């Protein structure tokens, strides 16, 4: 019978209007739609969806509760493993994780696990209390992105006194300053952060660890352990001529100006100028978000230029971007920015082709000799990757780093090269995903707890 039921499709704002405003694009399920979609779940004995979820949310169990219309119970089940379900329901690459593993893919569409997660998270409005007995251990968490917030929440419910130090004036990390309102409304992030604060977690903003105080200061001041979740906020410089011309932005700066500093408002003190034609370099979520934001700020033509063929951004966002009029130029790479009076006016591009051999899961590519051409543009946004900021590592003796300034952490415990100092998320892996940062925060919290429960052989 289940096989005959059709997937409940998501609803979206009408394309023609939505690329002119910052309202959330995807409209969540109604109660009836959520129940109907939940009935497509087969409650598998060996649920592959759970195996695809980095934090192992008991997916069929929470979906069963939706079938029974016990939405609050469904939420509580998700919350046992995931501290940011309203965020994950919106931004996780479900097609590569839980939904990508759902058995229903074999005969049609997977169950819309992400949309169901979002539904119960938006439905739940109870303020939880933390009933854990205090254990008199103090933990400092650096950074309030998904890694730091998850680590803080996990430790708080285990009885630890947790203080989060955040460099910016608003907590949330990329969830607040990076992912735009039309994908992840700020009130959703605020609600999730409020729930963490309700657990007793203290968040202190405007403190840059490494400048205002160091990790040594924190340990000296009585913190028993430190978790570093400082992210990868430093843009990767492409290193091609003309990169410092005016009207060339790095995506992080561009999105921060728009999201956090409200540059899209006419009376905002933070300026942002968008030309008629905007060229975005890169193919990840950051590039797609930048392009869709530029369109909403009034750009007439927006192009995404990517050197490979398969765009790594979330599937849903690519579809939405196309619907909103964003054009993709694939197998193309910029080699030079050309200016006039100090302002960018064109990009010299070169065509690329993929090579047969595969390295690290991605196909290699090379430039096609003689295929260069000029592409006129008024604004460029570079979204070609980010790396960790060296502020912390440069003033923390003994903190081992690797690769492009990433912090080394043990893959099992997330302990760094310094005892009682842990790290996780983008600061350790380089730019990745919300859920992988959460997984790292959770792992570190479990390792910290194990350490203080006197099981030092595991750390
Ligand atoms: P962050 O979220 O970067 O948080 C780090 C925090 O630490 C920041 O608030 C920063 O201000 C603070 N900090 C840094 N240094 C210090 C210091 N010295 N002292 C105090 N505080 C400090 N992932 C997805 O899964 N799905 C998506 O759709 C998606 N879209 C994205 C869109 C954009 C525009 C961007 C930029 C990223 C996107 N990602 C997405 C990636 C995802 O957001 C990140 O992988 C994730 O946020 C990493 O979490 P984190 O906690 O490690 O770091
Ligand atoms: Fe339900 Fe799909 Fe998970 Fe099976 S794999 S339990 S059908 S969501």
Q: 42: how many CB neighbours lie within 10 A of its CB?
A: 15
**Are 454 and 432 in contact, with CB atoms under 8 Å apart?**
no
pLDDT at 271: 75
CATH 3.50.50.60 fits 138-233+387-452, yes or no: yes
State if pTM tops 0.85. yes
- The CA 60 to ligand 2 mean position distance, Å, reads 6
Give pLDDT tens digits for 296-350: 999 999 999 999 999 999 999 999 999 999 999 999 999 999 999 999 999 999 9
165 in contact with ligand 1, CB cutoff 6 A = yes
pLDDT of 8 reads: 84
Which of 196, 209, 434, 441 to mutate to test ligand 1, by most ligand atoms within 8 A of the CB atom? Answer: 434
Domain covering 237-384 assigned CATH 3.50.50.60 in the classification: yes
Domain boundaries, the chain: 21-123, 138-233+387-452, 237-384
> Is any ligand 1 atom within 6 A of the Cβ of residue 166?
yes
Same fold, 21-123 and 138-233+387-452: no
DSSP, collapsed to helix, strand or coil, labels residue 50 as: helix
Looking at the domain that runs over 21-123, which CATH code has it been given?
Answer: 1.10.1060.10
Q: What is the pLDDT of residue 298?
A: 92
Of ligand 2's atoms, which has the minimum distance to the CA of residue 110? Answer: 2
Q: What is the pLDDT of residue 265?
A: 72
pLDDT in tens, 143-194: 999 999 999 999 999 999 999 999 999 999 999 999 999 999 999 999 999 9
Q: pLDDT band at residue 5, thresholds of 50, 70 and 90?
A: low
> Helices marked H in 168-282 — which ranges?
174-177, 186-198, 215-220, 251-259
Given the CA of residue 165, which atom of ligand 1 is nearest to it?
20
The whole-angstrom separation of Cα 356 and Cα 373 is 25
Q: pLDDT digits over 86-112, tens only?
A: 999 999 999 999 999 999 999 899 999
Judge if the beta carbon of residue 280 lies within 6 A of ligand 1: no
The per-residue pLDDT for 456 is: 52
Q: How far is the CA of 235 from the centre of ligand 1 (A)?
A: 12
Pocket around ligand 2 at a 6 A CB cut-off = 41-44, 47-49, 59-60, 102-104, 111, 113
- pLDDT of residue 264 exceeding 80, the answer is no
């Amino acid at each position: 019978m289940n096989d005959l039921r059709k997937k409940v499709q998501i609803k979206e704002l009408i394309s023609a209007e939505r690329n002119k405003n910052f309202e959330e694009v995807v409209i969540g399920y109604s109660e009836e739609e959520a129940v109907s979609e939940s009935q497509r779940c087969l409650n598998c004995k060996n649920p592959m969806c759970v195996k695809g979820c980095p934090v192992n949310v008991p997916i069929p169990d929470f979906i069963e509760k939706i079938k029974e219309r016990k939405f609050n119970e469904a939420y509580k089940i998700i919350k046992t493993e995931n501290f940011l379900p309203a965020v994950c329901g919106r931004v996780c690459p479900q097609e590569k994780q839980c939904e990508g593993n759902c058995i229903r893919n074999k005969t049609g569409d997977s169950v819309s696990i992400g949309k169901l997660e979002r539904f119960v998270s938006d439905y739940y409005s109870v303020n939880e209390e933390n009933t854990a007995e205090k254990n008199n251990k103090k933990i400092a968490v650096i950074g309030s992105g998904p890694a730091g917030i998850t680590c803080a929440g996990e430790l708080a419910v285990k009885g630890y006194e947790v203080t989060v130090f955040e460099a910016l004036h608003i907590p949330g990390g990329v969830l607040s300053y990076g992912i735009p309102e039309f994908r992840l409304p700020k009130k959703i992030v605020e609600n999730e952060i409020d729930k963490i604060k309700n657990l007793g977690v203290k968040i202190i903003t405007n403190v840059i660890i490494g400048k205002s105080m160091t990790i040594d200061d924190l340990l000296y001041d009585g913190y028993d352990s430190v978790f570093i979740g400082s992210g990868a906020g430093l843009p990767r410089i492409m290193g091609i001529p003309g990169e410092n011309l005016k009207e060339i932005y790095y995506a992080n700066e561009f999105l921060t100006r728009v999201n956090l500093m409200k540059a899209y408002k006419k009376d905002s003190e933070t300026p942002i100028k968008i030309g008629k034609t905007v060229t975005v370099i890169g193919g990840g979520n950051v590039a797609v978000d930048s392009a869709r934001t530029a369109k909403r700020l009034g750009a007439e033509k927006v192009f995404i230029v990517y050197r490979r063929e398969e765009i790594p951004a979330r599937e849903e966002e690519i579809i939405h971007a196309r619907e909103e009029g964003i054009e993709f130029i694939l197998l193309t790479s910029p080699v030079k920015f050309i200016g006039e009076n100090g302002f960018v006016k064109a990009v010299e591009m070169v065509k690329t082709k993929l090579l047969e051999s595969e390295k690290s899961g991605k196909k290699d590519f090379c430039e096609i000799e003689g295929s260069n051409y000029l592409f006129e543009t008024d604004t460029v946004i570079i979204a070609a990757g980010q790396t960790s900021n060296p502020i912390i590592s440069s003033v923390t003796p003994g903190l081992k780093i690797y690769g492009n300034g990433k912090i080394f952490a043990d893959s099992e415990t997330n302990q760094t090269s310094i005892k009682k100092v842990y790290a996780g998320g983008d600061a350790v892996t380089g730019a990745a995903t919300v859920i992988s940062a959460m997984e790292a925060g959770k792992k570190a919290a479990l390792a910290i707890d194990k350490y203080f429960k006197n099981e030092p052989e595991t750390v």
